Amino acid sequence: MSRRVLVLNGPNLGRLGSREPDVYGSTSYAGLVDACTALGKELGFEVEVRETNDEGELVRWLHEAADDSLPVVINPGAFTHYSYAMRDAAAQRTAPLIEVHISNPYAREEFRHTSVIAAVASGTVAGFGIGSYRLALRALAEELDG
């Protein structure tokens, strides 16, 4: 039986592959979707990857995950640093939630060093490019099967 997992992406992540490839790599957003769904199948997950530039939509998706007890892998993008609405929605989680970042926020500008999501997440994976998502999905599988 497949378990449903949401992989949620915030602002500008739909521009992967063309957006600052020296920071975010050359993998396109479609490549990210393919990588997540393929690994998800291996792990017994039905992975649904979503992306939005709208803070309210991300909050609604987090409510959906809480209501349906769905595990979440989330890259909040810039919302990581200041969206208390997203933090409060993530705090309502009823299943594991793993925060991911493609780059290492601590090796970048100082404003990126703070995450309002981290304190309510199961864990954070950052700095491994698209591999951060793969590591997060594997960690999720371990947490759910553990």
CA dist 122 and 55 (Å) reads: 21
Burial class (CB in 10 A: 0-12, 13-18, 19+), 146: exposed
Under 8 Å between Cβ of 79 and 111:
no
User: What one-character DSSP code corresponds to residue 52?
Assistant: -
Annotated binding site: 75, 81, 88, 102-103, 112
Annotated binding site for substrate: 75, 81, 88, 102-103, 112
Structural tokens at position 138: 């594997």
Q: Is 101 a catalytic residue?
A: yes
Catalytic residue among 29, 63, 82, 101: 101
Under 8 Å between Cβ of 96 and 124:
no
Residue 17 gets the label, from left (phi > 0), alpha (psi -120 to 50) or beta, of: left
The set of catalytic residues is 24, 101
